[in-house]
Chain A
Amino acid sequence: MDLCGLAAAQMRRMLDSREVSAEELARAHLDRISRLDPAVRAFITVCEDRTLTDAAEAQKQIDGGGQGALTGIPVALKDNMITKGVRTTCASRILEKYVPPFEGTAAERLRRAGAVLLGKTNLDEFAMGSSTEYSAFFTTRNPWDLERVPGGSSGGSAAAVASGMAPIAYGSDTGGSVRQPAALCGVVGLKPTYGRISRYGLVAFSSSLDQIGPFGRSVEDVICAFEAVMGRDPHDSTTVDMPYDGSKAREPVLKGRRIGVPSELLSGEIAPDVSHAVRAALDLISDAGGETEEVSLPMIEHGVATYYIIAPAEASSNLARYDGVRYGLRIDADDSIEMMKGTRSAGFGSEVTQRIMIGTYVLSAGYYDAFYTKAHQARTIMKRQFQEAFRKFDLLIAPTSPVPAFRLGERLDDPMAMKLADFCTIPANIGGFPAISLNCGFSNGLPIGVQLIADSFQEETLFSVALALENLLPPFALPEIEVA
C-alpha cells in the first residue's frame, strides 16, 4: 500500500505505532515527488535537506513522546509563504533567487509542531490568478487531467495534495485562491476567518483579504492543519484571540442545521454540471436532517467588482517594495529611479503589472472616492447582508467554482472569464468569513467542489457540518497519473 495516499490522520497513527518512521514517510513523499512532479509540476522548490532534517527532529519528538497532530507529517507550503533559508519566489522573476532570513509565523509554528517541510509550491505570480498560468516559471497541471489547470492561485499546493505528493499543504486565499483550486483538484480547502492565522510571513497581496489556509484530503486533516497554525500572533496586529473548541468542531452534526443557499450563487453563471452536483449535495443534506433554504444576497453581484478595486489598490502598495534596492532582481541603471523602473518592468509579469496599474489608478487623487471609497462602502454593505443571513442560518452553501477545471490556455485570452472564476469565493474574503470547500462529485472525470461559509469565528460549526457532509460523500482516492 502506498503511504502517500493515506490521510494525515492515518500517517499519524502509523508514526505513533512505529509502523513507519518520519524519515521513511518523508522519503516516500520525496520519491513520489521526483516521480510525479515532472508531470504535475506542483513544486517550485523541493528542499530535500531541510525535509530530512525536519524528519529527524520529528522522530526525536515522537520518540520522546512529545508529538502533536502534525509531528512527522510532510507538508508543502505555497511559495508566497516565507521560509527561513528556503528560497521564496512568489513565482515571480523579481524574487526568483530570494532566500528569506527569517521564518514566517505559519512556517515557524509548523516547525515547532514537528511538521516536515517538503518544499514550496507553484502559484500565480504573487497569488494573482486562478490557474497558476500566471506563474513566471511554469504552469501546474491538474492531477485529474494533465491538460487542465489545477486552479489558482494556490494551484501547486492543491495539485500536490491531490496527487499524493503531500498529505497537507498550505496556500493563501485572497479571493478564493485556496478553495477554488481545492475544488478543481477534488481536495478539501479551507479559508479561515480573517484574523485567525497570522499573515506574518505571508507575502502580502491584498492585506485586508489575504488569509492562509490549508489543503488536505479529508476534513479531519484540514482541521489539524488549521489548528497547528491558528491563533493570535504578536507580529500580526490583525490576528485576534477568539475562542475555538477543537472537540466541538469534531462532532459531525447536520441534523437541525439551518443552511442557506444564496440564489445568486446557483444561477446563470454556474455551469450545469456544477449546479447539478451541488444540488445533489443539498439533497444529501436534507435527507440527513439539515434544513436548506434559498436566500437572496443581492450584493453578491457586486463582489467581483468590489474585489477588483480593493485587491489591486492594496497590491499596488504592497508590491511597491520590489524596487531592486535591497533584495531580489535589480536591473542596473544610471540613477536610482531608472533602476527601479527597469527592475520592476523586467521583474513583474503582465497580470501583476496590470493589477498594479489598476490599483494605482483607483487610489489616485480624483478617482479615490469614486472607486476606493465606493468599494469600501460596497464591502460594508455586503458584509452586513451576510451577517443578516447568519442570524437566520448556521451556514451558507454554494458552489466553490462556477466551472470544473478548464483547459490550459483556455482562459488566458479572456481575462474577464478568468476573473469570474472567483465569483463564488470572493464574498467570504470581502466579509472575512470562514469557508471550506469539499469535493461533492465528478463530471467527466473532473472534480466539483461545494463550499460552506460560516459567520466570522464560527469554524467549529463550519467543521462540524463539513465532517457530516463528508461522511455522506465518497472518500477521496488518488487519481491515476500517467508519467511520460
Chain B
Amino acid sequence: MQAASYVLSVGMEVHAELLTKTKMFCRCPNEFGGEPNTRVCPVCLGLPGSLPVINRPAVEHVLRTALALNCRIAMRSVFHRKNYFYPDLPKAYQISQYGETNPLGHSGYMDFFTEDGGERRVRIRRVHLEEDTGKLMHLPGRKSGVDFNRAGVPLMEIVTDYPPDIHSPQEALDYSYQLRLLLIYLGACDGKMEEGSLRCEPNVSIAPEGHQELGTKTELKNLSSFRAVQSGIRHEAERMRHALERGDTLKQETRGWDEENEKSYVMRVKEFEDDYRYFPDPDLPPMVFSEEYIEGLRAALPELPTAKRKRFMEDLGLSDYDARLLLAGPAWARFFEEAVAQGGDPKQVCNWMNGDFSHLLNEAGRTAEASKVTPAHIADLTGLIASGKISGRIGKEVFEHVFQTGRMPSDVVKEEGKEQITDAGSIREVVSEVLSQNPEAVGKYREGKKGVHGFLVGQVMRKTEGMANPEMVNRLVTEELER
C-alpha cells in the first residue's frame, strides 16, 4: 500500500445498463451481444430525420434507484445533448443529463456493510439517465468497424460526491459490491461486470497527508471485475506515489486496466477540459413528475440488501458471514426466506443452502431457480433432521437424491427406508448381536482398551445400514459393554 504520508481519494462513477425490454429512445430490443448491427433502427443509428422518444420504464428504474440511494428527486428534469465526435457515437452527441439539480436524482447517500462487517456511508452526487454508445471493433487490415447494437441502450450513471468519501481500494470494492447488489435487488441492472453491463470507473488521486487539495486525478476504465477495481486502484495509487517520489508531475489522464498483466496503460491525456457544449435537447420535452407518482414508487421499493442483511442477523440470528452469502442474489435470498416461511429453521436452512445445495448447484452449473429443489424441499429436509427422523449424514444422501429427482425428502425417506431407527429395543438387539459376534473386542475393552468402542459402534451402524440413530448406538454400546 502507499506510504503513510499520502492519502488516497477515490470518486466512483458507475455506469449501469438498465434492464429494459427496449433501448432508451427507440424500440430496438435491449440485449447483450449478437451479430453486429442486428439490433439497430433509424433512431439508434442517428439517421437523418429520426427522433428520440423517451423509454418510460428506464426513467422509472433510475427514479427507483435514486430513491433507494436516498437521493432528492428532480420533479422536473430535462435531457441534454453532450456534443463530441467519435465513431461509436451515432448522432455525434450523447443524450444525457447535465447540471447539479437537473439529474433525476441528486444529493443522496448509500449506507452499507464493509467486508469486515463495519458500516459505512458514501454520499451520492447524482444519478442520471443517458444512452450508451456503440462499440468499436478492430478488423483485419488496420480497419475498424462499429457495432451499434449497444448504441442507445439505457445507461444510468451514479456518481459519488466530492470530495470523495472513499479512501482505500477495499472501500472502493465494498462500495461497488454493495451498489451492484442494490441494483440487482431493484431489478434495475443485471450487474454483469464481465459483459460491461455494470462498469465501475474510479477517479483516483493521492495527496500528501494533511493537504486540503486533492491531487491530479486519473480516471480508470476497463475494470471488469471487483478484483480489478481493487487492484486497479491499488496499482494506480502506487504508480502515482512512485511518480511523485521521483519528483514527476502527474498528468490528468484516462488509463485502461490490463487485468491479465496487472498493469494500467494511458488511453487519453486530458490537456484541457473538454467542452461538450451541453444544451437541453429540443427533441425531448421536460420530464415532470407528481409528488404522488414519486411517493408511489418509494412505497413500492423492495426491502433493500442492507436492511435485509440487518434483519437476517438481528431477527433470524444468522452470522454476518451467512447473511452476506444468502444476500448474494435476490433469488437466493428469496429462496431462503420462503424455506423459513415454510417452517425451516433459519440456521439449518442457511447451512443447507450455503453448504450442500450451493455445492451441488456449482457442480451442475445451475442456478437455484433452474434446479429441481424448491424452498419446500429444504424446509422438509430440515424438519426431518430436527425431529430426529433422519440423521444429518442420511440427510446428505437424501438431499442428493432430492437434487437429482426433485422428490420430497419425506417421500424419499419413507420409500427408500431411510427413516432412522430410534427404537432403543431394536438397537439394543443389534448391539447385543454385535457384541456376541466380537468377543475379542469386548475382551479388549474390558482390559481397558476403550478405543474399540468406536469399532463396535461402526459394526452396529453397518448392520443397520446406517439407519440407527448414532447417538443412541453410542450410548447403548457403552451401556452393554459396561454391564
Contacts and interface: CB of A to CB of B under 8 A. Distances in A.
Interface of A: 81-82, 88, 90, 95, 98, 100-102, 104, 199-204, 206-208, 234-238, 313-314, 316-317, 320-323, 325-327, 336-337, 340, 360, 363-365, 368, 372
B389 interface: no
Interface stretch (B48-56, B199-207, B459-467): B48-56
Between B48, B54, B284, the greatest number of chain A beta carbons within 10 A of the residue's beta carbon is seen for B48
A104 B90 contact: no
Contacts of A340: 85
B16 to A, nearest CB: 24
Given A207-B282, A237-B285, A340-B85, A201 B46 contact: no
B304 interface: no
Contacts of A206: 282
B282 A200 contact: no
23 contacts: A81-B49, A82-B48, A95-B48, A102-B47, A200-B49, A200-B50, A204-B283, A207-B283, A236-B53, A237-B53, A238-B282, A317-B81, A317-B277, A320-B85, A321-B46, A321-B90, A323-B87, A325-B90, A327-B47, A336-B144, A337-B85, A364-B277, A365-B275
B49 A325 contact: no
A166 B46 CA distance: 32
A52 to B, nearest CB: 25
B92 interface: yes
Given A317-B93, A320-B93, A325-B87, A202 B49 contact: yes
B42 interface: yes
A206 B281 CA distance: 11
Given A235-B53, A337-B85, A317 B279 contact: yes
A481 to B, nearest CB: 32
A201 B50 CA distance: 6
B422 interface: no
Interface in B80-98: 81, 83, 85-87, 90-93
Given A101-B42, A317-B279, A326-B90, A88 B50 contact: no
A368 B275 CA distance: 11
Given A101-B42, A236-B53, A313-B279, 19 more contacts: A88-B49, A100-B42, A102-B42, A102-B47, A203-B48, A204-B49, A206-B282, A208-B282, A234-B53, A237-B52, A237-B283, A314-B282, A317-B277, A320-B85, A326-B90, A326-B146, A340-B85, A365-B277, A372-B279
Contacts of B93: 317, 320
Which applies to chain A's interface (DSSP): helix, strand, loop or mixed?
loop
Contacts of A204: 48-49, 283
Interface in B114-156: 144, 146
Between A102, A237, A337, A340, the greatest number of chain B beta carbons within 10 A of the residue's beta carbon is seen for A237
Ranked nearest first, the 3 interchain pairs of A and B with the lowest CB-CB distance are: A320-B92, A363-B277, A208-B282
A340 B89 CA distance: 13
A236 B51 contact: yes
A199 B52 CA distance: 11
A201 B285 contact: no
Contacts of B282: 206-208, 238, 314
A77 to B, nearest CB: 12
Contacts of B12: none
Given A325-B146, A336-B144, A320 B49 contact: no
A234 B87 CA distance: 29
B342 to A, nearest CB: 47
A199 B90 CA distance: 19
Contacts of A102: 42, 47, 50
Contacts of B52: 237
A322 B92 CA distance: 8
Given A98-B48, A101-B47, A320-B93, A364 B275 contact: yes
